[in-house]
Amino acid sequence: MLQQTQTDRVVPKYLAWLEAYPEPAALAAAPLAEVLALWSGLGYNRRALALVRAASQLASTDRFPDDEEELLDLPGVGPYTARAILAFAFGRPVVLIETNIRSVFLHTFHPGEEGVHDSRLAPLVEATLDRKDPRTWYYALMDYGVDIKRREGNPNRRSAHYARQSPFADSKRRIRGGLLKALGERRGKSADELAAGLPFARERVEEALAELEAEGFVAESEGVYRLGD
């Protein structure tokens, strides 16, 4: 939920999410329209769908995986998420790099250097890691990274991984979000109806619909689109 979303916006969403879905089985059984309505405002709706699919996978077992390979088998979980779970949920001393942690190491060890790859930062993260309490150490690094950005600008612009976000006003994210909102009204709509209700070119709406269908967000039957199950 915190991916490119401010914490003060996430906290009430997070609490409401846990109240609605206190265990994987509850989320796995929830209608997609309900899940997306609760997720609304956080963006990147594919993360909500990945959570539903991961919950379906977890609901069939009586344990939460605590191994990186097992975690990577869950839908939507990549190396960063897997290691974040290991560090914050299980207190494992794994190497973890996210935007604020990256800022600290760029600022401290590579001042003024451009195009620094994470592969050069990882050994430094491992060498400085508090192996007895990685959770608190990473929290501290994240807070320090936020402070560096506030005082001196964003060191991540010098990272080889830095990519500036495109403006949201005419972005694919906004088109996808508009389509999901329109289909969340619980009745099917044709591509014509959807395109007429959104301020975007017809071709872009059709492209976004095709992506959403391929990802399992929507289903099409006889020219009518609905949210997937």
Q: Which of 78, 52, 75, 74 is nearest to 65 (CA)?
A: 74
Give the per-residue pLDDT at 224.
87
Q: Give the best-scoring range by mean pLDDT among 59-68, 78-87, 216-225.
A: 78-87
Calculated CA dihedral for residues 103, 104, 109, 112, nearest 10 degrees? 40
* pLDDT for the residue numbered 166: 55
Query: Domains in the chain and their CATH numbers?
Result: 7-90 (1.10.340.30), 99-158 (no CATH), 168-227 (1.10.10.10)
Query: Which of the four pLDDT bands, split at 50, 70 and 90, describes residue 205?
Result: confident
pLDDT-above-90 percentage for the chain: 57
**pTM to 2 decimals?**
0.75
**pLDDT tens, 76-134?**
899 999 999 999 999 999 999 999 999 999 999 999 999 999 999 999 999 999 999 99
Output the CA–CA distances (angstroms, integers) from residue 122 to 104, 109, 119, 149, 195, in the order listed: 12, 12, 5, 20, 46
pLDDT (tens digit per residue) in 156-203:
999 998 876 555 555 788 888 888 888 886 678 888 888 888 888 778
Mean pLDDT on 46-71: 91
Return the residue matching tokens 């192996």: 131
Mean pLDDT over residues 143-161, rounded? 94
User: Which residue from 93, 191, 95, 111 is spatially nearest to 148, judged by alpha carbons?
Assistant: 111
- Rounded CA-CA distance 80/95 in Å is 9
pLDDT at 140: 97
